[in-house]
Amino acid sequence: MARAYNFSAGPATLPLEVLQQVQQDLVDYKGTGMSVMEMSHRGKDYDAIHQEAIATFKELCGLGDDWSVVFVQGGASMQFAMIPMNFLGAGATADYSNSGTWGNKALKEAKKVAALRGATVNVAADTQKDIPTRQPTEFAWTEGAAYAHICTNETISGAEMKAIPETAAPLIGDMSSDILSCERDYSRFSMFYAGAQKNLGPSGMAVVAIRRDFAEKGPDTLPTMLQYRTYTNENSLYNTPPTWGIYVFGETMKWVKRMGKENLFRQNAEKAKMIYDTIDSSEFWTPTAVKEFRSNMNVTWRIKGGDEALEKKFLDEAKALGMSSLKGHRSVGGLRASIYNAFPVAGVEALVAFMKDFEKRNG
């Protein structure tokens, strides 16, 4: 069976060896006589999977015992609401960086909670509508803010935050599309989170890393399943967690560890550079993100400044060659290659070769 080169922004490519391991374990997990999907989440076999997944992720991120790693269903979009519900109290202010579509979605949810509670949301930076796209570099932080929220990589605009800003307030990061893809000092955060379906595993949950003392700041009057302390105190086992997703997440984290972070980070940069060098080599291609903010995870560009007919031809021919999901997000159009951690180098090489051939035939 030939596998497509899947350039989708998510759900995205998983490591082939992880898929093969999952396939091997699907019906009978390591001699237990059952699938992980059939196991009791209270049993010792699943408990070992759960604990190892958390421990490996904490090791990769350099997190100590003062941190909890929890699994929350609803993806990153659920976090947009849970964060202000837990940390934006009456009369308080939260700072938000409005850096693009996802930063804006988080901002909108915070404003809804603020309106209910008599709180304030301050837009500390706003680059959402900047063309070419970019991430902010200057922020108007609020003194005494309850927290500050950033999105480190905007998948739709293809703009990545290369340096984490300094904040006095507890810093929260949506890292859904670039977590564990490059060097980051995770200790700078009080909380960071990611929808699993890009760099961590299958869709259906968010992986949330949160300082234990920060989790306790949330009000205990919230519904139980909307309190972070419920997840930290119960190790994500208050109710039945997404056990299959956690298992695949754990296998993916073991794959990252085998790869070696430094090797993986270098490979990510090299993959992106191959595409950006091709874009920059000719006026046939038009980059859409400011050079110093170009994402290593989501490469975005146009053909001849936005020739939609030619872009459709490009997409059709690419799909025929086994290169899937290169169409830009419906809100902006154009082209996008999402090349997350597990995306193979061979797929990038195939795309670059096709781009050069396509330009030669259509330039």
Contacts of 43 (CB under 8 A, 6+ apart): none
Assess contact for 164 and 185: CB atoms under 8 A. yes
Cβ-based neighbours of 177, under 8 Å, separated by 6 or more:
9, 10, 153, 154, 155, 194, 198, 199, 295, 297, 298, 338, 340
Closest CA to 91 of 113, 115, 119: 119
| Amino acid at residue number 154 | E
Residue 222 near residue 85 (C-beta atoms within 8 A): yes
Burial class, 45, CB count within 10 angstroms (exposed 0-12 / middle 13-18 / buried 19+): middle
Give per-residue burial for 285-300: e unless 16+ CB within 10 Å, then b. Answer: bbbbbbeebbbbbbbb
- Reported as type and span, the H/E element at residue 299 is strand 298-303
* H or E stretch at 352: helix 345-362
Q: Which among 1, 6, 19 is positioned nearest to 350, based on CA atoms?
A: 6
Cβ neighbour number for residue 110 with a 10 Å cutoff: 26
Tokens of residue 188, six digits = 């700078």
- Amino acid (one-letter) located at 323: M
Which residue, 17, 86, 79, is CA-closest to 256?
17
**Eight-state DSSP code of residue 15:** P
CA 163 to CA 159: how far, in whole Å?
12
What is the set of active-site residues?
A: 102, 174, 198
In what order do the strands lie in the sheet containing 285-287? 285-287, 298-303, 335-338
How far, in Å, are 89, 92, 127 from residue 118 at the CA level?
8, 8, 26
Give the residue among 227, 319, 321, 337 at the shortest CA–CA distance from 279.
337
